[in-house]
Amino acid sequence: MKLKIAILAGDGIGPEVTREAVNILKAVAEFGGHDFSFTEALIGGVAITAEGAPLPKQTIDIALDSDAVLLGAVGDNKFNHLTPDKRPEAGLLQIRQVLGGYANLRPCLAFAALGDNSPLRREVTKGVDILFVRELLGGLYFGQPRWWNKETGEAVNTMRYTKDEVLRVGRVAFELARKRRKKLTQVDKANVLECSQLWRATIDELKADYPDVTVEHQLVDSMAMHLMNIPRNFDVVLTENLFGDILSDESGIITGSLGMLPSATLGGKVNLYEPVHGSAPDIAGQGKANPLGAILTAAMLLRHSAGLEEDALAIEAAVDKVLGAGHRTSDIARGGAAANATTHEMGRLVHSALSESIDKQQSLHAV
Ligand code: IPM
Ligand code: MN
């Protein structure tokens, strides 16, 4: 199998976690005899510094010419004084638009080994397996008009959705629910917002096509509470852009760390893969970052852009095994325990667990 992967490592901890994810992809290519190529390009603050723009044209060309884009993180406090359209984050929003993926899948899986890492009790988080489907190209992030008039002290952002935008991401969510536990929770603020009423009406219409899927609606404020109280009640959670941004960070509490969460954005010209965490400038370059979010993101890339489901599962199992053996980066070393693995060591441990499991599989096939 041949795969051209664009690597947009970005800012802060982006490069160090992405390096570990790429090592894992290289291992999968080697074991499986695949031909994966990697082309690096600039995005975010590093692109502003080098090229004067958060998403240079060359990066767009490389991304559009690839089969999948793997992104690290963007954001650098050095650019906090700039308006939103000039900041590193603008590069991320632009690449999402250019690639065109509208369905952002953000799984939240509670690894048993991290059961004591969450401030929630073990019996609350046990067995949690939620898949957030966040609409990624609409809502307040992109709605026009948007402005801030510093003279009058007034600012405007626009939440705007069309029925078609809800339908296309809704279909993705229903299809995914159908392959899972067949429950879809749609989250909105329909008691206040017209956009949310459009979402609700559209999903209610769509559910006729998926009679096997149970649909429930939740208001985002009470959803934020239920998520901490009874997270096991949720299977696929579908929501608009900003609510999805907020709820997916909140779900980091269930896994024990935001550093564990991967994501995949589907539906556009080229799929985009990025961990949910940010650039964490406070710990960048110190070997403290958790590469597991990026590594699990690489697994999603293999699953959704290469059809290599077995390899994706093998990576997820390797992560589980490494955690089970007690290896921890600082974000998941709670309860007073010190971190016992650096970013690179964590990556190497997953790599060797993966090699072992693949060796075993190959000798089983040979029998
Ligand atoms: C995320 C991030 C981004 C977002 C920021 C960096 C623009 O928080 O991917 O969740 O809000 O989408
Ligand atoms: Mn976010």
11 domain-assigned: yes
pLDDT at 248: 95
Q: Quick check: is 122 in a domain? A: no
Ligand 2: centre distance to CA 306 (Å): 26
Ligand 1 neighbours, Cβ below 6 Å, are: 75, 89, 92, 245, 276, 278
Tell me, yes or no, if the pTM score tops 0.75: yes
* Domain end among 200, 227, 254: 254
Query: Is the peptide bond between 145 and the residue preceding it cis, with omega within 30 degrees of 0?
Result: yes
Residue 75 covered by a domain: yes
pLDDT at 312 over 70: yes
Work out the pLDDT band at 335, boundaries 50, 70, 90: low
Residue 124's pLDDT is 98
In this structure, are 276 and 333 located in the same domain?
A: yes
Q: Is pLDDT above 60 for 367? A: no
**Residues assigned a catalytic role:** 141, 189, 221, 245, 249
- Residue 256 backbone zone (phi > 0: left; psi -120 to 50: alpha; other: beta): left
Q: Say if 37 falls within a structural domain.
A: yes
Q: How far is the CA of 256 from the centre of ligand 2 (A)?
A: 16
Q: Which ligand is nearest to the CA of 279?
A: 1
Res 334: pLDDT:
72
pLDDT at position 155 is 97
Instruction: State the average pLDDT over residues 89-104.
Output: 98
pLDDT score for 336: 65
CATH number at residue 111: 3.40.718.10
| The pair of three-digit structure tokens given for residue 56, joined into one six-digit string | 């240079």
Please give the distance, rounded to the nearest whole angstrom, from the Cα atom of residue 29 to the centre of ligand 2.
30
Q: Which of 8, 11, 79, 92 to mutate to test the pocket of ligand 1 (most atoms within 8 A of CB)?
A: 92
Which range of residues forms the domain containing residue 264? Answer: 1-117+256-367
Strand partners for 239: 134, 187
Which residue's C-alpha comes closest to atom 4 of ligand 1?
Answer: 245
Q: How many domains does the chain have?
A: 2
Calpha distance 207→309 (Å, rounded): 28
pLDDT interval class at 366 (50, 70, 90): low
Looking at ligand 1, which atom is closest to the CA of residue 249? 10
- Structure confidence by residue, pLDDT tens digits, 250-288: 999 999 999 999 999 999 999 999 999 999 999 999 999
State yes or no: pLDDT of 67 exceeds 80: yes
Q: What is the pLDDT of residues 107-149, one digit of tens each?
A: 999 999 999 999 999 999 999 999 999 999 999 999 999 999 9
In this structure, the residue with its CA closest to atom 11 of ligand 1 is 245
Closest ligand 1 atom to the C-alpha of 241?
Answer: 12
Overall average pLDDT of the 304-333 stretch = 96
Residues 175 and 225 in one domain: yes
What average pLDDT is seen over the chain? Answer: 96
Q: What would the mean pLDDT of 166-182 be, rounded to a whole number?
A: 98
Q: Which ligand is nearest to the CA of 92?
A: 1
The CA distance from 316 to 303, in Å, is 11
Cα 233 to Cα 247: distance, rounded to the nearest angstrom:
15
76 with 107, same domain: the answer is yes
Residue 297 in any domain: the answer is yes
Q: Which band of pLDDT confidence, cut at 50, 70 and 90, is reported for residue 206?
A: very high
- CA of 259 relative to ligand 2 center, distance in Å: 12
Say how many Å lie between the CA of residue 250 and the centre of ligand 2. 10
Span 161-185, average pLDDT: 98
- Same domain (yes/no): 274, 302: yes
The reply to whether 97 and 175 lie within a common domain is no
Domain endpoint, select from 187, 222, 254:
254
Q: What is the mean pLDDT of residues 5-28?
A: 98
Element (H, E) at 130: strand 129-135
**Mean per-residue pLDDT, 76-91:** 96
Instruction: Note whether 29 and 93 are same-domain residues.
Output: yes
Which of 235, 254, 273 is a domain's end point? 254
Mutation test residue for ligand 1: of 245, 246, 250, 274, the one with most atoms within 8 Å of CB = 245
Q: Which of 69, 89, 108 to mutate to test the pocket of ligand 1 (most atoms within 8 A of CB)?
A: 89
